[in-house]
């Protein structure tokens, strides 16, 4: 598959580098190209030289095409390189850029290409709940 690791944070909508209990994981989501003009990558709107971080739309800087945040983010794919905590093998995988419920916690879930184990990417400081 040979995923391309981003060279700059400007290419990414989301990036994380995590150390797991028995492995590690690097995950990223590339910014999407404008579906209308296909010239530039879409991003959050810029007002007075500052990016509006809590905006609920994505805008093309070239043609001003707008797309709702929810539909824009659901069309993206999360790419990951990891060392699996279950089997210890290194691998690469892709998953939809949408959080799912994993053991009671919202997380992006990447599947190991070797042993099919699920590797969750939770929000930082969120602990996965143990079943007792």
One domain for residues 106 and 49: no
131 and 99 within one domain: yes
pLDDT of 132 reads: 56
d(CA 132, CA 123): 23
Provide the CB-side half-sphere exposure for 22 (13 A, CA): 7
The model's pTM is 0.81
pLDDT of residue 27: 92
59 and 123, same domain (yes or no):
no
Does 126 lie in the same domain as 107?
yes
Question: Residue 28: its pLDDT value, please?
Answer: 93
Structural domain tally of the chain? 2
Which residues form the domain of 62?
33-74
Residues 28, 39 within the same domain? no
What pLDDT does 7 receive? 87
Tell me, yes or no, whether 65 and 81 share the same domain: no
Tell me: do 95 and 46 sit in the same domain.
no
First to last CA, the chain: 39
pLDDT reported for residue 117: 87
Give yes or no: residues 129 and 64 share one domain: no
Take residue 123 and report the two structure tokens written for it: 């929000």
27 and 80 in a common domain: yes
Q: Are 12 and 66 found together in one domain? A: no
Helix/strand number for the chain, H first, E second: 1, 11
pLDDT per position in the chain (132 positions), as tens? 577 888 888 888 889 998 888 888 999 999 888 888 888 888 888 888 888 888 899 998 888 889 998 888 888 999 999 998 888 889 999 999 998 888 888 889 999 888 888 988 888 766 776 665
């Amino acid at each position: 598959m040979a995923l391309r690791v981003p060279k700059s944070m400007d290419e990414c909508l989301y990036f994380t580098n995590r150390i797991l209990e028995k492995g590690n994981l690097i995950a990223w989501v590339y910014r999407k190209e404008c579906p209308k003009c296909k010239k530039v990558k879409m991003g959050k709107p810029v007002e007075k030289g500052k990016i509006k971080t809590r905006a609920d739309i994505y805008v093309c800087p070239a043609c001003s095409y707008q797309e709702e945040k929810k539909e824009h983010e659901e069309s993206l794919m999360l790419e990951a390189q990891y060392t699996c905590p279950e089997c210890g093998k290194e691998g690469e995988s892709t998953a939809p850029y949408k959080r799912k419920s994993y053991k009671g916690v919202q997380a992006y879930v990447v599947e190991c290409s070797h042993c099919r184990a699920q590797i969750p990417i939770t929000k930082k400081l969120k602990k996965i709940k143990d079943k007792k």
